[in-house]
Amino acid sequence: MKKPIIGITMDSRDDGSYYQLGFDYAKAVETAGGVPLGIPYKVSPALIPAILDTLDGILFTVGNDLDPALYGEEWHPKAQRIDPDRQSFELALLAEVEKRRLPALAICLGCQLFNVYRGGSLYQFLPDVADKHEHRRGEDSIRRHAIKVEPDSALGRMIGKGEISANTYHKQAVKTVGRGLRVTAVSDDGIVEGLEDPSLPLFAAVQWHPERLHAEAEHLAPFRLLVEKASQTVR
């Protein structure tokens, strides 16, 4: 059987001129049975339909902070601003992905993107609010916290457990939940760690970084979910 092709969005180095993508995203997709392909964003949005014609599923990845004007706020003093070209490209990409009902998984910034795209808002800097777990302090990949996963969500069914240990490396998180989305995972200090639109074949987002832990079955599960749904759209 032909393996599904999974597009992976890329970030850029903060000094500009170069794309960057952590090795783990493509390796996690490969391990789950998909064929990973990077998607450059410094191209015309007019190419988006042709790009998506080549893909069976898509993975939205990590990056800097979305412009809070998208949800009616000013930049936080500690903001690390996303490249405006990436933001506009990914919003246009997501709109076309949604229109085509293409299976989509989002991680970290991707989770925030899905929520804001649907009209939701974000906590711009978690240390300003309840942050028992210091969600942003996971740079060493060692800091973890427990999350509860909804057993009747697509994510929960694939993980097969109601509670897992997730790594945490984010200073932003979902505040108000966007249209058509349900919360599928939450930390024990009340931070949203997963979202899904159950009306689409797969429109799922996680706030933690399963790509870094994909050697563990419960963290490979989101990628298996993406590859399984993408397999159903292989041409």
End-to-end CA distance of the chain: 11
Strand 5-9 relative to strand 35-39: parallel, antiparallel, unpaired? parallel
Question: 124 or 168, CB closer to Mn ion?
Answer: 168
Q: Distance (Å, rounded) from C-alpha 154 to C-alpha 149?
A: 10
List the interface residues with Mn ion, window 167-196 (CB under 5 A). 168
Scanning 88-96, 130-138, 175-183, 216-224 for contacts with Mn ion by CB under 5 A, the matching segment is 130-138
Scanning 112-120, 128-136, 194-202, 210-218 for contacts with Mn ion by CB under 5 A, the matching segment is 128-136
Scanning 12-20, 72-80, 165-173, 213-221 for contacts with Mn ion by CB under 5 A, the matching segment is 165-173
Residue in 133, 170, 209, 219 annotated catalytic: 209
Residue 115 binds Mn ion (CB under 5 A): no
Both structure tokens of 119: 């009209």
Both structure tokens of 62: 């990590």
Helix, strand, coil share (%) of the chain residues, nearest 5: 30, 25, 45
How many residues bind Mn ion, per CB under 5 A? 2
Residue 135 binds Mn ion (CB under 5 A): yes
Active site residue 211: yes
List the interface residues with Mn ion, window 46-105 (CB under 5 A). none
- 104 CB neighbour count, 10 Å cutoff: 28
Strand 57-60 relative to strand 5-9: parallel, antiparallel, unpaired? parallel
Residue 224 binds Mn ion (CB under 5 A): no
Question: 91 or 186, CB closer to Mn ion?
Answer: 186
Question: 100 or 144, CB closer to Mn ion?
Answer: 144
List strand residue ranges (DSSP E) for 53-137, in order: 57-60, 104-107, 122-123
Active site residue 209: yes
Question: 135 or 224, CB closer to Mn ion?
Answer: 135
- β-partners of residue 165 are 146
Active site residue 216: no
* CA 189 to the chain's CA centroid: 21
Give the footprint of Mn ion on this chain (CB under 5 A): 135, 168
Residues forming the active site = 108, 209, 211
